[in-house]
Structure 1
Amino acid sequence: MKQALTLGIFSFFSISSFAQSGEVTNAILAQKDGMLLDAKTSIDKASEHEKTKNDTKTWYYKGKIYEAIALDPTLGKQNSDAAKIAFDSYTKAQQLDETAEKPGKYKKDLTEAFASQSLAVAIQNGGIQAYQDKKLSDAYDYFTIYQTIKPLDTLGYVYAAQMALAKDDYKNAKEAYTKGMTKTGYISPEILTNLLYIYKTVESEKDLNKALEIARLGKSKYPNNANFVNQEVDILEKSGKLTEAITNLESIIQKGDKKVENYLLLGSLYEKNKELDKAKESYRSALAVNPNSFEANYNMGALIYNPAVDIIKTVRNMGVSDYQKKGKQMEAQAKEVIKISLPYFEKAYEVKSNDFTTKKTLKEIYASLGMTDKANALK
């Protein structure tokens, strides 16, 4: 009786183990017959049972079945995490295969599985679907997995970075962009611009030295993109290196890049550095390139006009005695300066008549010069 009981228990465990091993076989056969939901049910049971949950075969076929589900137009939408489960299952199979008593049995199959275009498509589709469902963290995870499958494809890095940016995860966005540039060599203006934003403005990631590297990389890769020249100058200025910013920009102009934008930027730097004569010269150079430049005309006009405004303010604050001594002389001096600024503001207004500040300033100038009709015409 005791022997019969022992045999009965042994038989139970043998049958149970065989049954679960049979679930793997059932899953394989169901997949071959196109019955993916039945295959899913069987392989899920096998991957949870004590006797088969540590078998490489179980996880390899779980990967294949879930990959097929992910690629099915209907089932893929109903099982939005299928592609990720497929990848995780292949990864688990790889780990088990490497530590098995006879390692490497599934090495070739797993290598092919990870390298297959079908898995890449499944992961990519999973990321796109997650994004459309507004599951940004899931989308980020999918595109990060895609990087593992297709390390030389820019898509995984750029999309992962964009998902991270969309959820204000600037650290991971920065890392995805940087990793992508290193791995693929792909460096676009958009990537560099986004990195500049992160390094310059995001408090937790701010690093002006890194920002300067990115700006200079952009200037090197895209010499016709004025944004990177402007960014370099702006970063140098923010870093307290105004003289270096001026020197760099002068060098660019001397090498033949005589764009209006460069002269305008140089003029503004000279203004900030209190080198007003050089600022005027820069704006004159800009006007020589394009006489119709709104910015060059306005900046030149303002540079001439503002000191006259300061003189007028000083006169208005004078006492009677001081005014009698030098007030009228200073007013006349201011008026002559204002006359010099007038043509620049008139040209700026001609180019951009809807600019409120230009219109307001021009009206004030006309009034101060006694040109009442022209002042009244600017309503």
Structure 2
Amino acid sequence: MLNDKNYVEAKAAIDEAFEQPGISDNPRAWFMKARVYHEIFESKDPQLNKFKENPSELINTIVDSYNNTLSLTTRKSNLQVLAKNQIEILWANGINEGTRLFQAQKFNDAIDAFLVSKISKPTETRAFIFTALCAVYAGKYELAVENYLAAKDLDVLSKQAYDGLIIAKRNLRVSPEELLDVVEDARFNYPDHIPYVIEEVRTLIRIGKLEEAESVLNTAVKRNPSNMELVLRQADLFDIIFKTAYAEGRPERSESYFEQASMNYERFLANSPDNFTANYNYAVMINEQANRIYTRINLMSNEEYEIVGKETEEIGHDWTRKALPYMEKAWEVKQGDKKVQEALTVFYSRLKMDEKLIALNRN
């Protein structure tokens, strides 16, 4: 029946055979059941679709039948070799079809195809990783996490797999603490991979663990002293600590971190003078010093202002003058940016640079 492709009759016959006592000890019976179900699975005949309503169950039946053949035969027997080959074929077909569908951007169909390979060889990570990748593209982030973690239980994840796991967790909007667990695990396996260092620091900052973030960055910078991306991240962190310490009433700590942040920003900008983010953030940080001076002036009494007001105001202007070229550079790099335009409007107004203010407003 199988040779004649009479699959419905073949299935009925093998199912009836397995109702007989003692049949479960017969390796040839298990192999035949596997072959019949395997052919039904591979067939495009629409009449057989009724047997495929639960693909997972069908594939499990096929694989279990091949595995029962293996367990009941010796290593060199013909059935042992044939059963192993069929499992390999089943796995490879799933990988190949899933890859083809992925390349065609049919991500949900690819997930179904990779299921065949996952069931065929459940200790092989490739199908789990490919399924997870398709799930990320399909927006099925919980499925992606499930498959990445299944692969992780089998072997160490690659950097690309950790990247996908982090993306999936982030899109699921998990807590920063849960995301941190994933990032720290990635860093444990790839301690010198800079993107994981940066992701860990970013997450620690979100949690408010600034000292831990500083420790991670300091270690990374010592190991990679010429990595300018780390230098910039360190500048950003010192900038945050500078502002946080001031808000906490710790002016000496604030000033110390201002100096450290300044050194890092200037070192980075010496290497990448056209970087918008560094120019903008450094200008904002310097301007924070100016704002503190202006706030002090606003709190002065008339008598105090008469004595030291103008002199103090000039100190604020000096800070604004120092911030100005960095904000102007940010404008040069990214003209039209509203935040930069608003900042320059304030700077030019403070310093009474009317011509530049008029030119800016023309934009």
Give the corresponding residue for 1:32. 3
Bigger relative CO (Cα 8 Å, ≥ 6 apart):
2
Give the corresponding residue for 1:178. 152
Q: How far did residue 212 of structure 1 move?
A: 1.8
* 8 Å Cα contact 1:59/1:92 also seen in 2: yes
Identity rate, percent: 20
Post-superposition CA distance 1:272-319 (Å, at most 9, x none): 333110110111111111222212222221221111122223323434
Distance 1:133 1:309, change over 3 A: closer
Give the corresponding residue for 1:284. 266
Q: How far did residue 364 of structure 1 move?
A: 1.3
Work out whether 1:158 is the aligned partner of 2:130.
yes
* 8 Å Cα contact 1:242/1:273 also seen in 2: no
Alignment of 1:1-379 (within 5 A): 30-47=1-18, 56-74=27-45, 78=49, 79=52, 81=54, 84-92=57-65, 94-95=67-68, 109-110=79-80, 112-116=82-86, 117-124=88-95, 134=108, 141-148=115-122, 151-152=123-124, 154-160=126-132, 162-163=134-135, 166=140, 168-169=142-143, 172-182=146-156, 187-195=158-166, 198=169, 202-203=174-175, 206=178, 208=180, 211-220=183-192, 226-235=194-203, 237=205, 238=209, 240-254=211-225, 258-274=226-242, 275-379=257-361
Q: Partner letter of residue 327 of structure 1? A: G
Please give the alpha-carbon distance, in whole angstroms, between the structure 2 residues aligned to 1:94 and 1:171: 29
Q: How far did residue 147 of structure 1 move?
A: 3.4
Please give the alpha-carbon distance, in whole angstroms, between the structure 1 residues aligned to 2:340 and 2:306: 33
* 8 Å Cα contact 1:123/1:142 also seen in 2: yes
* 8 Å Cα contact 1:140/1:163 also seen in 2: no
- Give the 3-state SS of the residue equivalent to 1:32 in structure 2: coil
Please give the alpha-carbon distance, in whole angstroms, between the structure 2 residues aligned to 1:111 and 1:239: 60
TM-score (norm 2): 0.74
Unaligned runs of 5+ in 2: 243-256
Please give the alpha-carbon distance, in whole angstroms, between the structure 2 residues aligned to 1:130 and 1:33: 31
Distance 1:241 1:335, change over 3 A: same
Q: How far did residue 121 of structure 1 move?
A: 4.0
* 8 Å Cα contact 1:312/1:331 also seen in 2: yes
Distance 1:190 1:218, change over 3 A: same
* 8 Å Cα contact 1:143/1:157 also seen in 2: no
User: What RMSD in Å do the two structures reach over aligned CA positions?
Assistant: 4.0
Please give the alpha-carbon distance, in whole angstroms, between the structure 1 residues aligned to 2:64 and 2:202: 47
Q: Which moved more, 1:345-354 or 1:60-69?
A: 60-69
- Give the 3-state SS of the residue equivalent to 2:316 in structure 1: helix
Q: Partner letter of residue 314 of structure 2? A: A
Aligned length in residues:
335
Post-superposition CA distance 1:97-141 (Å, at most 9, x none): 85xxx8769975255324433222454578789996958996675
* 8 Å Cα contact 2:110/2:131 also seen in 1: no
Q: Which moved more, 1:188-197 or 1:300-309?
A: 188-197
Q: How far did residue 261 of structure 1 move?
A: 1.9
* 8 Å Cα contact 1:298/1:358 also seen in 2: yes
Q: State which structure, 1 or 2, has the greater radius of gyration over its C-alpha atoms.
A: 1
- Give the 3-state SS of the residue equivalent to 2:306 in structure 1: helix
Post-superposition CA distance 1:29-74 (Å, at most 9, x none): x111122233233334444567867765444322101211222344
Unaligned runs of 5+ in 1: 1-29
Distance 1:188 1:112, change over 3 A: farther
TM-score (norm 1): 0.71
* 8 Å Cα contact 2:90/2:116 also seen in 1: no
* 8 Å Cα contact 2:204/2:210 also seen in 1: yes
Distance 1:203 1:289, change over 3 A: closer
Distance 1:168 1:352, change over 3 A: same
